[in-house]
Amino acid sequence: MADGTASFVDIAAPELARGEADRPHSAVVRFGTEAPLKLDAGGVLSPFQIAYQTYGILNAARSNAILLCHALSGDQHVANVHPVTGKPGWWETLVGPGKPIDTDRFFVICSNVLGGCMGTTGPSSLAPATRVPYGLDLPVLTIRDMVRAQAMLIDHLGIERLLAVVGGSMGGMQVLQWAASYPERVFAAFPMAGAARHSAQNIAFHEVGRQAIMADPDWRGGRYLTEGANPRRGLAVARMAAHITYMSDSSLHRKFGRRLQDREGRTFSFDADFQVESYLRHQGEAFVDRFDANSYLYVTRAMDYFDLAADYGGVLANAFKGTKTRFCLVSFTSDWLFPTSESRTVVHALNAAGASVSFAEIDSDKGHDAFLLEEPELFAITRGFLDAAARAVGVP
C-alpha cells in the first residue's frame, strides 16, 4: 500500500517557528504530482507534504499502530520537547513508555494536520509555483481533507489497518471521519470531547477569532509573510477568546478567582490587575510565537465546516453503517464547548448503526481541556480500551 513515489526526508536543522513550515523538526513525507490530494473544495493539492512524529516500534505484523489526531492548536509533537517552545509534548500525560498509550507496546504516529504550520502543507508553506507562502491562495480545507492526507501517510508507512485512531476536540472529529471514511482500516476509534458537527456557538467563537486576525492591519489580506509583517495582536486576541472556551467557569474560578496579580489593590487602570487577565495575555502572546495566523483561519474553518451527517444524507448513523470498528467515547461534565450532548448524539448514531460502542462522561471541573490534563479516569479508560483492542488483534 505504500506509495512508491513519495520520498521520506528527515530534517532536523535548528530553525525557528517560521522555518517549521517548510523545514520542520520532524519526519516529512512529500507527495509529488503523481500522488495528488483530492480536496472537498474541488481540485487537488499537489505537491504537498506531511510532517509527523512517531514513538515506539512498528511490529512485524504492522498491527500495533495507533494514530493520534491533534486539536486546533496542537501539532505532531505529542511526546517530545517542542522544537519551538522547548516545552514538553502536549500529550505527555497520556503518551509514553508505560503510559496509557504505551509507546513500549504501540507504534504511535501523529502528523501535523493539513493547513497547519508545523511542516504539513498549510498557508505558511511555500507555494511550489511562486516560491512565496500560499497565504489565502491555499484552497480552504476540511476535516475530511485532513484525514485523506493522513491516510496517504499511513499508506506510505505501509500500515493496512490502524489498531486505533485517538484524538480529542478537533482530533475527535478526525477520529469520527476516519471511522466513517475508512472503516476497515480502523480497528478501534476513540474520540474524546468530540462532536460530529460544529455547533452554532462554536462557529460563532471561531468567527470572532478570525475577525480579530483579519482586523489586524498586519494581516495584510493574508500576505503578511511575504510582506514581512505578522498579525501578532489579532492572533493573540483570537487565542485569548478561544482559551476561555477551553476552561470551565469553575476551573477559572478555582485557578484565579478575583485574585490580583502581584499588587495590593486595584490600580484603577487598564493594566492586568487580575491574575486571570495576566494569564490570558500570556496565553495570547505565547501562542503567537508558535502558531501561524493564516493556519488559525484554515483550521478553524475546517472545524466549522465539519458536519459528518451532512455527507451521509443528514443521517449520522449512515456514516457508520455496517462498521466493525469498536468505539469508545468520553466527554467531560464541565466541557461547555463540546458538551456531553454532542458525544451522546454520536453514541446514539453508533447504536442505531449497530456498532460496538462504550461511552463515559467523566466528572471533571476542568472544562474542554480536561482531555489534555491529569484525569485518572480518562487514563484508566484509555488503558482499558486500548488493552482490549490490542488483545483482540493479538498485540502482546
Q: Which residues bind a copy of itself (CB under 8 A)?
A: 40-42, 136, 139-140, 197-201, 203-205, 207-208, 210-212, 214-217, 233-234, 236-237, 240-241, 244, 247, 249, 252-253, 255-258, 266, 268-270, 272-274, 276-277, 280-281, 284, 297, 301, 304-305, 307, 336, 339
Strand positions, DSSP E, the chain: 7-11, 26-31, 37-38, 44-45, 48-55, 65-69, 95-96, 101-102, 107-111, 162-168, 186-192, 326-332, 356-362
DSSP state of 127: P
| Whether 368 is catalytic | yes
The four Cα atoms 87, 88, 93, 99 give a dihedral, to 10 degrees, of 180
Q: Which of 198, 206, 243, 368 is catalytic?
A: 368
| Whether 243 is catalytic | no
Q: Provide the 10 A C-beta neighbour count for residue 19.
A: 16
DSSP state of 130: T
Nearer to a copy of itself, 102 or 216 (CB): 216
At closest approach, how far in Å is the CB of 332 from a copy of itself?
Answer: 16
| Whether 169 is catalytic | yes
Nearer to a copy of itself, 56 or 339 (CB): 339
Nearer to a copy of itself, 184 or 249 (CB): 249
Q: What single-letter amino acid sits at 85?
A: T
Q: Taking the alpha carbons of 262, 265, 266, 268 in that order, is the dihedral positive or negative?
A: negative
Residue appearing with cell numbers 482559551: 243
Q: What single-letter amino acid sits at 209?
A: G
Q: Which of 26, 73, 169, 343 is catalytic?
A: 169
The C-alpha cell that represents 85 in the structure block: 517552545
Nearer to a copy of itself, 276 or 381 (CB): 276
Cβ 289 vs Cβ 17: under 8 Å: yes
Residue 137, SS3 per DSSP = helix
At closest approach, how far in Å is the CB of 224 from a copy of itself?
Answer: 14
Nearer to a copy of itself, 333 or 358 (CB): 333
At closest approach, how far in Å is the CB of 327 from a copy of itself?
Answer: 24
Phi-psi region of 64 (alpha: psi -120 to 50; beta: other; left: phi over 0): alpha
DSSP state of 139: P
Q: Which of 335, 343, 364, 369 is catalytic?
A: 335
Residues recognised as catalytic: 169, 335, 368
